[in-house]
Chain A
Amino acid sequence: MSESGGPPATGGTVVDRLGAKLREGDAGLIALVMAGIYVLFTIFAILGPSQGVGGVVAALQAVTFWTALYAMLVLALNLHWGYAGLFNIGVAGFMAVGVYTFAAITAPTGGSPPGLGLPLWVGVVGGMLMAAVAGAVVALPALRLRADYLAIVTVAFSEIVRLTLLSTTFQQFTLFANVSFLPNVPLGTGAGRGINIPINPTIPVKSLYYTNPSNPASGSRTALGDAVISAFGAVGIRETVVVSLTYTLVLIAFVAGFYWLLRRIGNSPFGRVLKAIREDELVANSLGKDTRLFKVKVFMVGCALMGLGGILWETQKGYTDPTATTFLPIQTFYIFIALMIGGAGSNTGSVLGGGLFASLLFLGPQYVSRIFSKYFVSGDAPSTIVGALGPLGAADPGPLFAYTLQNISALRFVLVGVVLILLMQFRPTGLLGHRKEVAASIDLLDRNERADPDAPRPATDGGRVGDRDPAPTERGDRDE
C-alpha cells in the first residue's frame, strides 16, 4: 500500500474499518436483528389499534428506546458478570444511587424536596461518581470473600437503597447540620412522593425544538423545532413522538459509547486479567496479578455505567419515586436475562440481548395483547381470576382469555421463565457467548506483521490490523 504514494485519505481508513467491522459481522448482525425486530413491530402496529404511519413510527420508537436502555445496562453488567465473573445482582440499586444523586444535584434549591440546583452535567458526573463509590463500598468487603457473597451483598444493597429512599426519615434532611464550618445544605429524597427532576437529559434535546424546554407548552418552538415537527406532523407523527425519537437517538449514541468503552477495556491486558479472574482467580494471582485491585476497579467502572444508564432511563419522565420498576430487584433480573439471551462475555451479544429482551419479552406481550383485544375480545374482562375461571364450566373461555390479556404484564414473568428454561436447556451460553473475543489490543495471530516490513499496516488504531485485504473499494485494484 505504501507504494501507492501519499498517506491514505482518512475517509478511506474509516471506510476500511467500517467495512471490516461489517465483515466481522458485528455491526451487520446487530443491524440484521434490529431490522427483524422492526419488521415484527411494524406488523404489530399495523394489526393493532390502527393509528396509521404515526402508530408505526411510535411503535418503532418505543422498541428502539427500550432496546437502547437495556443495551446500556446489559453492557454495564457484561463488564461485571461477562468479563470478570462478578455476580452483581444489585444493578437496580446502583441505578437508584445514580438517579437520586443526579436528582439531588440538579433539583432546584427551593423545591420540595430541595436539591443543589446545579447544572445537568454536574448531575451526570456526580451520579456516576456516587454509583462508583457505592460500588466500591459494597465491593471492598465482599470481593475478598467468595463470589457468592458478592451476590448476597449486592442484592441486599439494592434493597437497602430502595427501602431507604422509601423511608420518610430522609424525606427532607439537612446535610452538614452539625458541622459548624460547612454550610447547611437542605436535601431530601421525597420518600414515597418521589422527587422532581426538572433538569434532566431530555432538556438539551427539547431545547433543540422549544424555546422553553422545561415546559414546552408555555414557550414556542424554535425554527428547527417548527421545521422538524411540522415535517413529521405532515405524515401523521405526533410531536411527542418526534421528541422521544430524538432522545432515542441520544440513547443510541450512549450505547455506542458504552460499547466502545467496553471493547477497549476488554481488548487489553486489563481485560485479559479480568477474564483470568473469571476463569480461575488463583491462577491470576499465581501469575503475579493483584486481582483485588482489578476487581474493585472494574466493579466501580461498571457501577458508574449503571448509574449513568439509570439516569438516562429514569429521569426522562421529569420525576422519580422509589416505587418505579427501574429500582425493583426484578429489573436486575430482567437485565440479567437480557445478558443471558445475548451471551455473557460478548458485547455484541449484550446489545442483541438487550434488543431481543426489550422487543420480544418486554414490549412484545403488550402489543400482542392489543391485537388480540382488538380482534377477539368483546366486552369487559372480569376483574378477578374467579370471575375468569367460572365461565369455563359453561365451556366459555372468553372471560379467561380477556382476563389473561388484561394481565399481560404478569404473563410476562411466565414468558421470561419459559425463555430462561429453554435457554439453559438448549443454549446455555446465549446467542454469542460461544464466540471467541480474544482479549488483546492487537491481533495475536498476525505475528508476521513486524517481521515483514513490507506488510500492509492499514489501520493505526482501533480496528484489527489483519492480513485481510484492507481495501474493499478504493485500493482493491492496486493489489493486483
Chain B
Amino acid sequence: MSDDRPTAETADATGATVAEPDASAEPDPDHDDGATTTGTADRDELDPADASLVVEDLAKRFGGIDAVDGVSFSVERGTLTGLIGPNGAGKSTTFDLITGVHDPDGGRVTFEGRDVTGYRTAEIADEGLVRTFQIARELEEMTVLENLMLAPRGQSGEKLLNAVTPGLRGRVREEERELRERVWETLELFEIDHLAEEYAGNLSGGQRKLLELARALMVDPSMLLLDEPFAGVNPTLEEKLLDRIHELREGGLTFLLVEHDMNLIMEHCERVIVMHQGQVLAEGPPAEIRSNERVIDAYLGEDV
C-alpha cells in the first residue's frame, strides 16, 4: 500500500503512456485543446491515461440544497489545475466528496485508474491523494515538529507492538531519525523552522496555512488538493511557495487548487475548472476561461 512511492507511480504511469505514440506531447496542453474544445460546449475531454483524478457526475444534497450537482471533470497528471467559483459554488464540498469526508449521493471518483468512490478518508490519503483545508486545521496542542512528524505514511512505529517492545523500538527510532531530517528540511523550505517547537495553535493564520501545506507534503502524495492555500500568506512567501509548487509539479506531482485570486490562477494554472451553483460551468486553459461568456456572467463580472 504505502510502499509504492508516488514518484514510482508517476514513472509507471508515464511508462504506460509511452506506449502510446503522442506521450511526449503530454506537457503541452494546447495539443489536445485544439482537437476537442469545439466538441462539447465548455469541456474538453482528456485522454483517460493522462488523468490523475477523474470525477464523474458527482452529486451531494444537504437538505434541500444541491451542494454538488452532477460535477464532472478530470485533472491531468503533473499539472497545476485551478478550481474557481463564487462562494457556495460547491468547491469545498467537492473536495470533501473526493476525499471521503462526505459520501457522495451519486457519481464516481477515480484516482490513478482506481475507483475510490466511497473509500474512507484515510484510505484515500493512503492512495496518495492528500488534501488541505480551507480553514487550516492544525493540531493545536501538538508542536509544529510533531505535526510534520505525524504525516509520513507507513511509519513502523505506528504499530503499537513496534512502539513498545524493547527489541523492535530500535528500528522505530532509526526511522524517526531519518524522518527528522526530512521534517527539518521541509520546515526550512517553508520558513517556519524558527517555530519548530511552538504549539501549532499559537501560529498565525498564514503560518498555519504553511504548516498545513508542509504537513500534506510530508505524506509524500502523488496529488494534492489545496483549498485556498495562500489565504493570509504574505506575497513574497506566496511567490516562493508557488515556485516550490511548480518544482514539485515538474517532479510529477499533480495539484488541484482552489483559489480566489484570479491573477494567480490565470498566471500559474495550466487548466482551470469553473464551478457555479454546484455544477461545472467551464473547463479549459486560462485564456479560454477568461473569454468565456458564461464564466464572465456568472463569476468574473467586469473584474477581468
Contact = CB atoms under 8 A, between A and B. Distances in A.
Interface of A: 261, 264-265, 268-273, 275-276, 278-280, 282-291, 294, 297-298, 301, 345, 436, 438-442, 444-445, 447, 449-450, 461
Given A264-B164, A272-B149, A444-B149, A282 B122 contact: no
A269 B163 contact: yes
Given A285-B122, A286-B121, A290-B122, A265 B164 contact: yes
A442 B180 contact: yes
B142 A279 contact: yes
B31 interface: no
Contacts of A272: 142, 146, 149-150
B181 interface: yes
B125 A439 contact: no
Contact of B176 (A283, A286, A290, A442): A442
A375 B257 CA distance: 77
- Most A Cβ at <10 Å: residue of B122, B143, B215: B122
6 contacts: A287-B125, A289-B150, A345-B141, A441-B157, A441-B172, A461-B166
B142 A275 contact: yes
Nearest to A442: B176
Contact of B150 (A265, A287, A450): A287
B155 interface: yes
Contact of B173 (A265, A438, A441): A441
Given A288-B153, A289-B122, A297-B160, A441 B176 contact: yes
Contacts of B99: 286
A459 to B, nearest CB: 11
A279 B151 contact: no
A294 B158 CA distance: 9
B250 to A, nearest CB: 24
Nearest to B215: A287
Given A276-B139, A442-B180, A447-B181, A282 B160 contact: no
Contacts of A445: 145, 196-197
Interface residues of B, number: 51
A374 to B, nearest CB: 48
Contacts of A264: 163-164, 169
Top 8 A-B residue pairs of the complex, sorted by shortest distance between their CB atoms = A288-B125, A269-B157, A268-B163, A285-B121, A279-B139, A270-B163, A269-B155, A288-B126
Contacts of A449: 177
A84 to B, nearest CB: 12
- Most B Cβ at <10 Å: residue of A287, A294, A298: A287
Contacts, number: 141
Nearest to A291: B122
B140 interface: yes
B220 to A, nearest CB: 10
B158 A273 contact: yes
Contact of A271 (B163, B181, B196): B163
A303 to B, nearest CB: 14
A288 B150 contact: no
Contacts of B2: 288
Contact of B130 (A265, A287, A291): A287
Contacts of A301: 160
A461 B155 CA distance: 19
A328 B170 CA distance: 42
B120 interface: yes
Contact of B151 (A287, A297, A450): A287
B142 A288 contact: no
A242 B2 CA distance: 57
Contact of A450 (B121, B123, B177): B177
A285 B133 CA distance: 13
B169 A288 contact: no
- Most B Cβ at <10 Å: residue of A272, A275, A345: A272
Contacts of B157: 268-270, 441
A84 B273 CA distance: 40
Interface string B117-139: 00011110110001101000111
B13 interface: no
Contact of B137 (A278, A282, A436, A441): A282
B159 interface: yes
A288 B122 contact: yes
Nearest to B2: A288
A104 B176 CA distance: 44
- Most A Cβ at <10 Å: residue of B131, B146, B153, B159: B146
B300 to A, nearest CB: 31
B169 A461 contact: yes
A288 B219 contact: yes
Given A280-B137, A439-B146, A461-B170, A287 B160 contact: no
Given A291-B122, A436-B143, A442-B173, A273 B150 contact: yes
Contacts of A440: 145-146, 149, 176
Contacts of B126: 288
Contacts of B138: 283
B266 interface: no
B164 A261 contact: yes
B163 A276 contact: no
Given A280-B139, A285-B121, A444 B145 contact: yes
Given A276-B139, A290-B123, 15 more contacts: A265-B160, A269-B157, A270-B163, A276-B142, A276-B150, A283-B137, A283-B139, A284-B150, A288-B126, A289-B122, A289-B158, A438-B145, A441-B157, A441-B163, A441-B169
A269 B176 contact: yes
A291 B122 CA distance: 8
Interface string B161-197: 0111010011011001100110110000000000011
Contacts of B156: 269
A107 B176 CA distance: 47
Nearest to B156: A269
Contact of B146 (A261, A275, A287, A297): A275
B101 interface: yes
B24 to A, nearest CB: 33
- Most B Cβ at <10 Å: residue of A265, A271, A276, A283: A283
A339 to B, nearest CB: 16
Given A287-B151, A436-B143, A444 B163 contact: no
A270 B176 CA distance: 12
Contacts of A269: 149-150, 155-158, 163, 172, 176
A287 B130 CA distance: 7
Nearest to B199: A436
- Most B Cβ at <10 Å: residue of A280, A284, A442, A444: A444
A81 B145 CA distance: 23
A268 B172 contact: yes
B172 to A, nearest CB: 5
A189 B141 CA distance: 45
- Most B Cβ at <10 Å: residue of A289, A345, A449: A289
Contacts of A273: 150, 158
